[in-house]
Structure 1
Amino acid sequence: MTDRSIHIALTFDDNFWAPAYATMRSICLFSKRRSDLVFHLLHRTLTSQHKVDLEAISSEFGASLRWYDLDQSTLFKDIAARMPENKRLSNIVYARLIIDQLMDPSIARTLYLDCDMLVRDDIATLYDWDMQGAPIAAVRDSIGAWLTAGRDVASNRDIFDVAEPYFNAGLVLIDVAQWRAADIIGYMERAYAEGVMQRIYYDQDLLNLVFRGRWLQLPWRWNTIDARPVHEGLDPAILHYTGKAKPWFIITGMRRSVAFTRFYRHVMTNKIFYDFARHRRNRWWRRMLRLDRS
């Protein structure tokens, strides 16, 4: 019997449980194969209440959830402790690199998604995409040249060539066997020893180096980067809120600067939207009082 499962991987810590929920719920809402959805949740520091919130996805839509506690992963903890720290997103960004080592080895394909995304098209269309033998498929990043070349488009010329397409790693369709064969962790260790990891944009740059010239470019609508209101009329399939303004912000002016904010709020649900607002406010005060360093 053919396995019809649609395997989707997300990585997040407890401070991002609500956006993860919204991304998952948007996938389910627009899916015609909800019972085939299998969410692989690579998480850390997740509270029991927030786990209950996420489990509601299964009861509402019949999707399956598989949990991977990164705080129990020796491999992840070792990588996160030694690699350059991502101050904005935390070192949870490195979790996706070990997807192949955490998931069931029988899984042939998985779709990785960042949690600051809103899906509004059937994810099966993307999951079943003809990858034409490529190890990964992704969308070209509109600011890739700036990320790699920096000031005067002159930095890191010994590492990157801006003439080569550069993908955004917030959405990656993965051929798991080829991902495993690429030995991403081994490549990263060598890059760190040579001083390259200390100069590049964390895991996204690393993946672009590992799969240079070996990735399939997807249409832009499957990862609409820096999603703004102007994108709404272009029928994007996936909105990616990469800018500083986010659809979960309470401040009206900031919310209006990104696409589908009202719809996003109701996908997240009013309850979790306001729970998340309180969580972020409490966290801000704890950091101001130096009670919380996370």
Structure 2
Amino acid sequence: MHDIVLTFDDNFWGPAYATMRSLCLTSTDPRSLRFHVFHTGLRPDNRAIIQSIAGDYGAALHLTDLKQSDILGARIAAFPRIRMKRLNPIVYVRLFLKELLPAGTARVLYIDADTFVRNPIENLFAIDMQGKVIAAVLQPDRMHCIAGRDLKARSCFSMAEPYYNAGVMLIDLERYGQVDFIAGIKDLPAEELEQFYYDQDILNFVLRGQFLELDPRWNMQNPEPAHEVFDPHILHYSSDSRPWWPWTRVAFKRTYRHLMTNAHFYRYRREQYSRLVKGWLGLR
């Protein structure tokens, strides 16, 4: 089996469906895919759409509603408070995969829900990880991620060292399960921890030297139409230029609409318009 983890909330049901569908459509054997979906509550109609992946492609699917359990509560409480508010705390699921996945799972792919897989994921699972814990792609704007506004120096990161994006990671779960992330950051000063970019900074700091650098095509971030010529394996729409907004220029935009399917795409876009307007009016 090829184990794949996604985490998202009900605001991302459409992109998550598109990501999962793209994995199945381009797989050499969709029945070998086993999805582990950790979410924070899905409306029944949205849940049914996610579950349709299993019936349509024969993939295995396990859904876990984090609001119905305390899987993350105590674990997240042990991590430092971070000032950044943009990301949902469910991203911390990535730090506890060894505990959350079935015993005997050797490798797992963590993938963000704002991605579009264009080539067989089996090719990624088959790589030689050379004894590393994680295989991932470098973060293109690592200087800004590391140093933030005015590129201020931070004590725990060096701009001379590689820094990886955590949105697409192939993980050696046995080695990963031996890592104590809490112990790895406990000696850092509070003012440094407050600046952390959630688990991406934690992973890069604690696992320094334990990443295998992947070809950028396995996580083509912020892809524009000009990037289509590189035949990217995975597109990662990680900026504000999302393929569901009509005013954006992103790679394979038309294909993405059909990937989500017209019916789901236009319904999801209407929901996003509504959220955008409510945000402007301060109603959410």
Cα distance, 1:112 vs. partner?
0.3
After superposition, where does 1:180-195 map in structure 2 within 5 Å?
180-188=177-185, 190=186, 194-195=190-191
Report SS of the residue matched to 1:137. Answer: strand
Cα distance, 1:274 vs. partner?
1.3
Cα distance, 1:214 vs. partner?
1.2
**Is 2:258 aligned against 1:262?**
no
Report SS of the residue matched to 1:168. Answer: coil
Separation in 1, partners of 2:280, 2:265: 23
Report SS of the residue matched to 1:200. Answer: coil
Cα distance, 1:229 vs. partner?
0.7
Bigger Cα displacement from structure 2, 264-273 vs 86-95: 86-95
**Is 2:201 aligned against 1:205?**
yes
Separation in 1, partners of 2:105, 2:48: 26
Equivalent residue, structure 2, for 1:115: 113
Cα deviation code 1:170-197 (max 9, x no counterpart):
1111111111111224435x26774432
Bigger Cα displacement from structure 2, 78-87 vs 132-141: 78-87
Separation in 1, partners of 2:188, 2:57: 43
Q: Is the 8 A contact 2:16 2:113 kept in 1?
A: yes
* Residue ranges of structure 1 left out of the alignment (5+ in a row): none
Cα deviation code 1:200-251 (max 9, x no counterpart):
21211111001101111111110011111110011111011122110011x2
* Residue ranges of structure 2 left out of the alignment (5+ in a row): none
Equivalent residue, structure 2, for 1:175: 172
Q: Which amino acid aligns with 2:159?
A: V
Instruction: Tell me the C-alpha RMSD between the 2 structures.
Output: 2.0
Q: Which amino acid aligns with 1:199?
A: Q
After superposition, where does 1:64-79 map in structure 2 within 5 Å?
64-79=60-75
**Is 2:101 aligned against 1:103?**
yes
Separation in 1, partners of 2:84, 2:152: 23
Cα deviation code 1:6-47 (max 9, x no counterpart):
000001001001100000101111111110000110111211
**Is 2:117 aligned against 1:125?**
no
**Is 2:14 aligned against 1:18?**
yes
**Is 2:273 aligned against 1:275?**
no
Change (3 A) 1:105 1:128: same
Equivalent residue, structure 1, for 2:222: 226
Same amino acid, percent of matched pairs:
43
Cα deviation code 1:110-160 (max 9, x no counterpart):
00001111110000000121101111110111111221123454321x111
TM-score of the superposed pair, with normalisation by structure 2: 0.92
* Number of residue equivalences: 282
Separation in 2, partners of 1:125, 1:186: 34
Q: Is the 8 A contact 2:22 2:118 kept in 1?
A: yes
Q: Which amino acid aligns with 1:277?
A: R
Separation in 2, partners of 1:289, 1:207: 37
Q: Is the 8 A contact 1:10 1:112 kept in 2?
A: yes
Equivalent residue, structure 2, for 1:58: 54
